[in-house]
Amino acid sequence: MFVVNVGNSLFNPADTALALVIGLIFAGWLVVVGAVLWLVGWVLSFVWLDLIGNVITGVANSFTSQIATTIMLVTAATIGAVIVGVFLARGLHAKATAQIVTMIGVAMLGPIFLANPLAEILSSHGVLVQGRDIGLSVAAGLHGSTAIDPDQLVATMQADTVDNFARKPLQVWNFGLVVDEYTGCKEAWSAGIQAQSGDAVRDNLKACGQAGEYAYAVSSEPTIGQIGAGILILLSAIIMLYFAASLSIRIIWAALDAIYHGFMMIFGLAAGGFIYGPTQTFMARNAADSIIAGARMAVNTVFLSVYLLILGRVFEQAGGQVITVLVVGAVIQIVGVVQARRLNDSLTRGNEWIADRFSAVMQGGQALGAGGGGGAGGSGMGLAGVTNTMGTGAALLAGMGALSTINNSPAAAWLIGRVNPLNPAARRAEQMRRTQIAGWTQAHMAEAYPASFLNRVQFAEAASEGLARHQAERLRGWNTTANTRTPDHVHIPSGIDTPRGAAIAVQWAAGAGAASEGDLLAALAMAGFTDRQVMNNAIWAHVYAENHTADEPAKAKPMARVAALSRVFESNPTEHNLYALEMAAVQLRTERSGGVALTSAQRDLARDYMDNPTLEGIRRLQRRADGLDPVTGNVDPGSTRDDRIAAERTLSWIENGYAMNILNAVDQLNQTPLEDIQAGARVRSAHPAVRDLRRWVTDARRLERQTHGDGATGADMAPPR
């Protein structure tokens, strides 16, 4: 109980908050310390061994009655005798003698052990209890005690542990001193604690002298210092719990290890010990492991007991310096855990050393030297011997290696019916694999599978063809004529890893190769491009045009594409936007390639319209093409077929002329330094070449509106001033 006077909590909120924090720390400390004290006493009392022993003994007896049968004994002895005969026939007299002696020893020890299989391990005089008693006796002797009763030693040790790790730290935490050291205060504090009253504790201490008055004053109100001391004591208690739990688990582990190997001894003494090879080695190893388990029990008990007794003596010598002892003791306990691990590792190595020599002698050979690790395999120990010799991590790796070998074994696949049967979802993976085999092994699939990738080749070949055609003929578009050639006086790098070359390759891959947006990067890479930024810029400009063409009011897609790219180039004049615009203008010119011959009068009429594009001028041409009077719109009786054809040819010539003018304007942009265009864009003043392109785009769009009877909209590009 942590005693502190809070007073009226309503008028002392700060003290109430401090007391609440101290109470929470005390609750955690009490749980940890209580667990430590219980665990140490419970483990060293060996009550847990009785619980396990009562169950295991019955299981062992039942198991022995099933294994140790007459037919099993006769069969094993016969096999052992045959092996002796083989050794004698081959002249291996030493091995034959060793085999005979081993069989006689097994025959003599078997009935004694199998009569009560685990008696030598679990009984009151067994290996484990003797190991515990020896450990406690050694610890007491090292401490200078003459007591030889193990139960008395455990009780004394537990009482000292309670005083040193619970009573004294709590008093120092609560009152700033160990009240047990002052006459009358020990009894006063104990009486108050037993009464479960904090006021009784304080009143009793106040009456026990000057130290008690000091303790009464310290406990009159909670302080921040008590919170700090509580945290320090709690951390020390947690380290102590780790120390006690670590060593206690090692003690229990040693006991369970001995029980396990004793259980395995049933196999050896019932049958395996008669048969030369791994079974005899297995029996010898289990016998050695059982003995070493008792030694491990004794060593760990000595280790735990000595540490607790030493810490108890340190507390006695330290007097009231409990906090210092707790901090130093925590460091000592951490070191103790590390030392205990090393000690147990050395015991494991010693166990393997003994088992190896037992094995070698039983096989009729000489004991292995310290460096004879390679001989262990010859003694028939197999994987079990190897893994037992290793540490925990190495043994785990060896086990994982064995599982991996089984998992990758063709024999396991044939036996279980699945490839890699230990993998997660192995059954479903096998179903999927068989389904794929059934599908892909059909005759028609042999050609269908590689053919499914030919579209990639198609895209790449189209891109390469575009670059090659431009280099040879200066053609910029696919399925086009010479009127879309790059002008002879224009010399722009247009090969691999150039912005213009990438634009040409994208145009050909998407047009001639029918590549979608997601196929373009692979097409350019297969065509020889390596500059990822150049490729991405060309693809992004192409994708922008594809996505924004539908947003333009122009009805003809080539015209809408030119309009969309004209807008983005005017606001963001970059190389990839310029060359994407060039490819769109080439495509528009390809679809409106011209080749229409007009008379002088017809050409003058067309040029008049292009110089002054009026709605009335287009309507007159449309009326003539429809056989109507160009002024009134009524049926013209004098209209001839040649008149109608001439009007239609004039309209076509105008459309083709706008496409040609747009491409010429783009060619002019190609010859204009991009820095000049960008400088104008930064101050929102379009370069004259840009204004010229915008004029032809708006005129072409006006022609489309007028021919379709649409009115002007704000969505169209604004004509330049």
Identify the pLDDT of residue 7: 61
Structure letter (DSSP) for residue 453? T
**Least confident residue range of 206-210, 527-531, 547-551:** 206-210
Alpha helices in 408-498 (DSSP H): 410-416, 426-440, 445-451, 454-473
pLDDT for 687-713, tens place per residue? 999 999 999 999 999 999 999 888 887
| Of 246, 237, 279, residue with least CA distance to 72 | 279
Phi, psi at residue 614, to the nearest 5°? -105, 155
Place 140 in a pLDDT band, splitting at 50, 70 and 90: low
Those residues with Cβ within 8 angstroms of residue 255's Cβ, 6 or more apart along the chain or in another chain = 49, 52, 128, 293, 297
Identify the pLDDT of residue 318: 66
Phi, psi at residue 180, to the nearest 5°? -65, -20
Place 418 in a pLDDT band, splitting at 50, 70 and 90: confident
**Least confident residue range of 9-18, 61-70, 135-144, 711-720:** 135-144
> Region 347-365: what's the mean pLDDT?
69
**Least confident residue range of 70-84, 302-316, 550-564:** 302-316
Q: What's at 275, amino acid-wise? A: I
Identify the pLDDT of residue 92: 84
CB 505 within 8 A of CB 497: no
Residue 240 has pLDDT above 90, yes or no: no
Residue 284 has pLDDT above 50, yes or no: yes
* pLDDT more than 70, % of the chain: 89
Identify the pLDDT of residue 645: 92
Tokens representing 389? Answer: 């010799």
| Of 117, 128, 133, residue with least CA distance to 49 | 128
Those residues with Cβ within 8 angstroms of residue 449's Cβ, 6 or more apart along the chain or in another chain = 440
Identify the pLDDT of residue 364: 54
Residue 385 has pLDDT above 50, yes or no: no
Place 590 in a pLDDT band, splitting at 50, 70 and 90: very high
pLDDT for 635-660, tens place per residue? 988 889 998 999 999 999 999 999 99
The DSSP annotation for 493-561 comes to: --STTSHHHHHHHHHHHHHTS---GGGHHHHHHHTT---HHHHHHHHHHHHHHHHHGGGSS-SSHHHHH
> Region 36-45: what's the mean pLDDT?
81
Q: Is 475 helix (H, G, I), strand (E, B) or coil?
A: strand
Q: What's at 311, amino acid-wise? A: L
**Least confident residue range of 267-271, 320-324, 408-412, 415-419:** 320-324
Q: What's at 78, amino acid-wise? A: T
Task: Say which residue the tokens 């002895």 belong to.
Answer: 77
> Region 9-32: what's the mean pLDDT?
80
**Least confident residue range of 132-136, 431-435, 551-555:** 132-136
Place 361 in a pLDDT band, splitting at 50, 70 and 90: low
Tokens representing 457? Answer: 């080749």
**Of 651 and 131, which is predicted with more confidence?**
651
**pTM attached to this predicted model:** 0.46
Phi, psi at residue 260, to the nearest 5°? -60, -50
Structure letter (DSSP) for residue 165? I
Question: What is the end-to-end Cα distance of the chain in Å, rounded?
Answer: 94
| Of 648, 662, 486, residue with least CA distance to 558 | 662
Identify the pLDDT of residue 375: 42
Place 142 in a pLDDT band, splitting at 50, 70 and 90: low
**Least confident residue range of 86-100, 159-173, 496-510, 559-573:** 159-173
Tokens representing 462? Answer: 């189209």
- Which of 49-63, 343-357, 398-412 tops mean pLDDT? 398-412
> Region 372-376: what's the mean pLDDT?
41
pLDDT for 251-262, tens place per residue? 888 888 888 888
Alpha helices in 271-321 (DSSP H): 278-318
Burial class of residue 626 in the structure, from the number of CB atoms within 10 Å of its CB (0-12 exposed, 13-18 middle, 19+ buried): middle
Those residues with Cβ within 8 angstroms of residue 527's Cβ, 6 or more apart along the chain or in another chain = 460, 463, 464, 467, 496, 505, 509
> Region 256-278: what's the mean pLDDT?
79
- Which of 57-71, 87-101, 321-335 tops mean pLDDT? 87-101
Place 500 in a pLDDT band, splitting at 50, 70 and 90: very high
Measured distance CA(11)–CA(340) in Å, rounded: 54
Residue 268 has pLDDT above 80, yes or no: no
* pLDDT more than 90, % of the chain: 26
Place 505 in a pLDDT band, splitting at 50, 70 and 90: very high
Residue 613 has pLDDT above 80, yes or no: yes
Identify the pLDDT of residue 371: 42
> Region 41-49: what's the mean pLDDT?
79
Residue 304 has pLDDT above 90, yes or no: no
**Of 351 and 392, which is predicted with more confidence?**
351
Q: What's at 542, amino acid-wise? A: H
> Region 206-218: what's the mean pLDDT?
78
Phi, psi at residue 485, to the nearest 5°? -65, 155
Identify the pLDDT of residue 387: 45
Identify the pLDDT of residue 380: 40
